[in-house]
Amino acid sequence: MLRYVLRRLAMLVPVTIGVALIVFSLLYMTPGDPARMALGEDAPEEAVEQFRQKRGLDDPFVVQFGRYVYRAAVHGDIGNSYVTKMPVAHEVAERFPTTMKLAFSAVLLGVLIGVPLGIVCAVRQYSLFDSVAMIFALLGVSMPNFWLGILLILLFSVHLGWLPPSGFGTLDEMVMPAFTLSGGSLAIIARMTRSSMLEVIRADYITMARAKGQKESVVIWRHALPNALIPVITVAGIQFGRLLGGSILTESVFSIPGVGRLMVDSIKMRDFPMVQGGVLFIAVAFCVINLAVDLLYAWVDPRIKSQYR
């Protein structure tokens, strides 16, 4: 298994370089002058030209990208912000725990609610509960996060006054952002759990367990659920990585000082190094999460663990 982990970690290198190339290319072709945005519209042309020369903005694309990759790989330097003049790595690392906390809270909420909901819907297939739950799951998948967040603020903050409309420091402040971000993930996890459980509970070994007189709760939780968890773990891991990037709108709606909001503000200011650093952090985190999900397979299913050996 150690060889497998090392091989997957080595794959992070080309993935990271590929993400950096795509983001760097898109920002390079984006209209607007970063030097003018950083110094202001009234800045003299000499100062703007000096800003470009100091940061190599006048160099060809290949030179700029090669210099960026070299500094990042050799010195761990992914540039300084055009606006704050602070190192990008420091700025992003300072805000990344907040984004990770938000994404983890959302996916945890999705798993704690979605998995039991999917199990009950599978056991009571075509019942009224199953139909109503799947309708709400469809609404959760279809509803945009920013719209759900605004509705929650209007209801629980403006009209009822139960929860604060912004922030992410206390438990009360975490409720609405976590629920807003988990809306789509909760619905997807619930639907995947239901589908996987329906496939498993119709298997021959489940029929044999019931024929031997096992309690229905033992059949469902001990025999069926562990074998139905593999696709659910896959979906939960993918959703966790997706929520890291999808937190941009949620952080903007609830004024949460995370990487997503930092990237939005940086895009407005044409602060390209900050945008590149934020995307790279999220991309690497997504790859690491996928690796953790693959290793979790072995813990859930011994057959997969035997393949690593």
The reported pLDDT for the residue numbered 307 is 60
User: H or E stretch including 186?
Assistant: helix 171-200
Per DSSP, 309 falls in state: -
Mind listing the pLDDT tens digit for each residue in 93-104? 888 888 888 888
Task: Write out the two tokens for 134.
Answer: 């799947």
Record the tokens describing residue 124, joined without a space.
């009571």
What whole-number distance in Å separates Cα of residue 275 and Cα of residue 86? Answer: 14
Superfamily of domain 88-308: MetI-like (1.10.3720.10)
Which residues are 87's β-sheet partners?
80
3-state secondary structure of 144: coil
Contact 188, 109 (CB under 8 A): no
From residue 172, how far is each of 68, 148, 178, 254 by CA, in Å?
42, 17, 11, 13
Q: Which of 16-25, 40-49, 172-181, 270-279 shows the lowest mean pLDDT across its residues?
A: 40-49
| Domain spans in the chain, listed from the N-terminal domain onward | 2-75, 88-308
Instruction: Indicate the range of 9-18, 73-82, 284-293, 295-304 predicted with least confidence.
Output: 295-304
User: What's the pLDDT at 302?
Assistant: 63
pLDDT at 106: 87
Q: What is the pTM of this model?
A: 0.77
Chain mean position to CA 53: 36
Tens digit of pLDDT for each residue in 85-142?
A: 788 888 888 888 888 888 888 888 888 888 888 888 888 888 888 888 888 888 877 7
Banded model confidence at residue 301, pLDDT cuts 50, 70, 90: low
| Structure tokens that stand for 30 in this block | 């984006």
